[in-house]
């Protein structure tokens, strides 16, 4: 096993955090801003890239950092190392309401592909790189663009998703159609493509977007019930002063009656 072997425990329901237990000299690497708390004998160090063994030398570190820019992440990550005696704990919090998904990469042939902002933390040695969508349609309309994150190694990694998360196991004959924004992660054997919804009424009045994501097995897929883009859209829609009175015969008059005005 090349990656550091770490133990963990998840706490909470809607706003979760993960507590990582480190043996002496073990290290966990996390995204900047995800840190919550740690024991006194844990050293915190800002590093270039993901700190994996695959980025030896200055050029390797620059390449790793450059990949992180393409996925919309910071140039730097933070490494937390147990420099004391005995086991120590460090915890990382989810950035918004949802679930933290633990991924043992050794159980998935050493590679999982996930949406760009899903990664939370991982055992040192796990490589956080980029995955290009080879199909033009998937890159343009797949919800995540041409570039996604890939997690490689044989250790533990943790990703975060919005709302509830469900894991689906697909056989070679299974095809799953989902909203493009609901795809959190999938194993590298999954064929990820997009499909036009079709139909004039569906296209104009459906309100569900113009494309499905189609996932063909075999492999594992993780789906989220509340993509952050959907949550942000609702906040903007209802937080701008005027409210959309869905299903109300009063409409804007309801706003006036309850004191909000038009």
The whole-angstrom separation of Cα 20 and Cα 3 is 15
How many structural domains is the chain composed of? 1
* Position 254 in a domain: no
Q: Give residue 230's pLDDT band: very low, low, confident or very high (50, 70, 90).
A: confident
Structure tokens at 257: 């009656």
- Residues 229-237 have a mean pLDDT of 76
Distance CA 68, CA 72 (A): 6
CATH of the domain at 42: 3.60.160.10
Distance separating alpha carbons of residues 161 and 98, to the nearest angstrom: 6
Average pLDDT over residues 214-236: 87
pLDDT digits (tens, 9 = 90+) for 64-84: 556 656 655 667 889 999 999
Residue 19 falls within a domain, yes or no? yes
Evaluate whether residue 260 is within a structural domain: no
Question: What pTM, to 2 d.p., does this model score?
Answer: 0.78
Would 2 be classed as within a structural domain?
no
Side-chain-facing half-sphere of 1: CA atoms under 13 Å = 13
Strands 175-179 and 211-216: antiparallel
Domain assignment of residue 40, given as a range:
7-240
Q: Note whether residue 1 is domain-resident.
A: no
């Amino acid at each position: 096993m090349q990656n550091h072997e770490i133990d963990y425990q998840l706490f909470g329901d809607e706003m979760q955090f993960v507590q990582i237990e480190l043996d002496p000299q073990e290290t966990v690497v996390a995204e900047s801003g995800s840190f919550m708390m740690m024991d006194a004998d844990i050293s915190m160090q800002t590093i270039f890239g993901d700190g994996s063994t695959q980025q030896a030398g200055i050029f390797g570190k620059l390449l790793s950092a450059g990949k992180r820019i393409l996925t919309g992440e910071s140039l730097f990550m933070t490494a937390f190392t147990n420099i004391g005696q005995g086991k120590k704990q460090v915890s990382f919090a989810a950035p918004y309401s949802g679930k933290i998904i633990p991924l043992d990469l050794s159980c998935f042939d050493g590679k999982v592909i996930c949406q760009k902002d899903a990664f939370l933390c991982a055992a040192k040695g796990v490589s956080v790189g980029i995955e290009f969508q080879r199909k033009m349609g998937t890159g343009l309309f797949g919800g995540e663009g041409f570039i996604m994150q890939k997690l490689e190694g044989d250790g533990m990694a943790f990703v975060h998703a919005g709302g509830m998360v469900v894991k689906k196991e697909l056989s070679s004959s299974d095809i799953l159609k989902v909203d493009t924004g609901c795809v959190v992660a999938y194993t590298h054997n999954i064929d990820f493509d997009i499909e036009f919804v079709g139909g004039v009424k569906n296209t104009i009045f459906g309100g569900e977007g113009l494309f499905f994501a189609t996932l063909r097995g075999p492999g594992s897929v993780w789906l989220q019930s509340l993509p952050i883009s959907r949550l942000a859209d609702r906040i903007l829609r209802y937080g701008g002063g005027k409210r959309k009175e869905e299903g109300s015969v009063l409409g804007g008059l309801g706003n006036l009656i309850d004191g909000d005005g038009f």
